[in-house]
Structure 1
């Protein structure tokens, strides 16, 4: 009887260990990498200018969709999808340089994002900071008409289930009031200030767009892969102090 009890206990222990190991393996991301740096505004005030490495986790691209090349992160554009930041952010400043390597290239960065792709387009809900190459409007005429050039240089909008109020309305989206983006192969610099549901965007040194009253105000950052090669460099996230926020304005923790 004692031997049977010991055997049963050993069997149960082995089952528990196997279950725990299986869950741990399932919890591991398929692919992750580091790119960019994060620090707090208090760090900057204290004279610290070097932050910690930011970790990105694949959501629905692949382990060959993104690769590092010296100081750059290169996105090949396929499959369509996103990688997300390991951490969530509420109030922060995001700085990044980007350039498209193909005419008419399409990409962007999502902020306050749920990192949960929709079935119909493989993209998540959040506020998208648009990054289109200038020739996009020439390649996507509708009934012979070119879309407005304002569409390509830093349009801001609530994507998926996220809603926003535009500063410079183009329907529900907000367009930049001045075209400051450079074309294929040239570096553009975005500064994105995100505070309590309001976003202001600077393109190459000048603030030209904004949204407010975002339905989500804390979430993940996502880099978008949308069919064209794009390069990023000098990405920095500066965390600011937290503000008042309602539970429904925070995305689900992944």
Structure 2
């Protein structure tokens, strides 16, 4: 009888914990770009220009050109974003933007946001785009304090913490971005590559870039961070 009672308690605890956990949802359905919209300046006045964001073989693909952003319709706060990506051909530039808001706030192209860099051999860097964030060893990783800023011609790049975390070209990289209150943490292939705090934004849209290189995304998933999962 005691064994049966103990089993009942364990099952109850397991079920309660499972039910309270936030559920991961895919932001990309593998079929179309529902839930997203493209902001590509070259498309404004030229109907012949095609969007650089397409769906191919069940993957979300950024063709790289013309430059622009694919932005979620929804606004998110306190979450973990998991992205699996690879450069389809030549290595190049791309990024995932969090806390995105005002479109074309920088260089009439980039939305106000914090960019988590995906550029080959620089993945995990922060770029401040009319929003700001602090990190440990700030001057070492950002440069001359007098030149810091969030707009054109300022030092907006904050170097990541590690080298050699990217997979060889052609292989899939897994990036996890955790946005919790005013902090942003980034893991690349299970290595913590950046950590920032005192972020000037705590919510916003999520965006993926078209910035010159073809990039394939096979997973873009979001898990809300609840009080329970925050403690885990």
TM-score in same-fold range (> 0.5): yes
Aligned partners of 1:168 and 1:72: how far apart in 2? Answer: 38
Instruction: Give the structure 2 partner of residue 166 of structure 1.
Output: 135
Aligned with residue 225 of structure 2, among 220, 240, 244: 240
Q: Would you tell me which structure has more strand in proportion to its own residues?
A: 1
Judge conservation of contact 2:75–2:206 (CA < 8 Å) in 1. Answer: yes
Aligned partners of 1:191 and 1:168: how far apart in 2? Answer: 22
SS in 2 for 1:153: coil
In the alignment, is residue 107 of structure 1 matched against residue 94 of structure 2?
A: yes
Change (3 A) 1:67 1:165: same
Instruction: Give the structure 1 partner of residue 210 of structure 2.
Output: 225
SS in 2 for 1:165: coil
Aligned partners of 2:179 and 2:190: how far apart in 1? Answer: 17
Change (3 A) 1:183 1:212: same
Instruction: Give the structure 1 partner of residue 18 of structure 2.
Output: 45
Question: 1:48-67 counterparts in 2 under 5 A?
Answer: 51=25, 55-60=35-40, 63-67=50-54
Q: How many residues align?
A: 182
Change (3 A) 1:166 1:52: closer
TM-score by length of 2: 0.70
Question: 1:83-232 counterparts in 2 under 5 A?
Answer: 83-118=70-105, 120=107, 122-134=109-121, 152-159=122-129, 161-167=130-136, 169=138, 170-171=141-142, 173-232=158-217
- Deviation of 1:70 after TM superposition, in Å, equals 2.8
Q: Map Cα deviations across residues 192-238 of structure 1 (whole Å, 9 max, x no partner).
A: 11101101111101212111111011110011110111111121011
Structure having greater relative contact order (Cα 8 Å, sep ≥ 6): 2
Aligned with residue 68 of structure 2, among 76, 81, 87: 81
Where structure 2 has 5 or more consecutive residues not aligned to the other structure, the ranges are 1-16, 29-34, 44-49, 143-155, 228-232
TM-score by length of 1: 0.64
Aligned partners of 1:225 and 1:75: how far apart in 2? Answer: 6
Aligned partners of 2:97 and 2:107: how far apart in 1? Answer: 18
- Looking at CA atoms only, which structure, 1 or 2, has the larger radius of gyration? 1
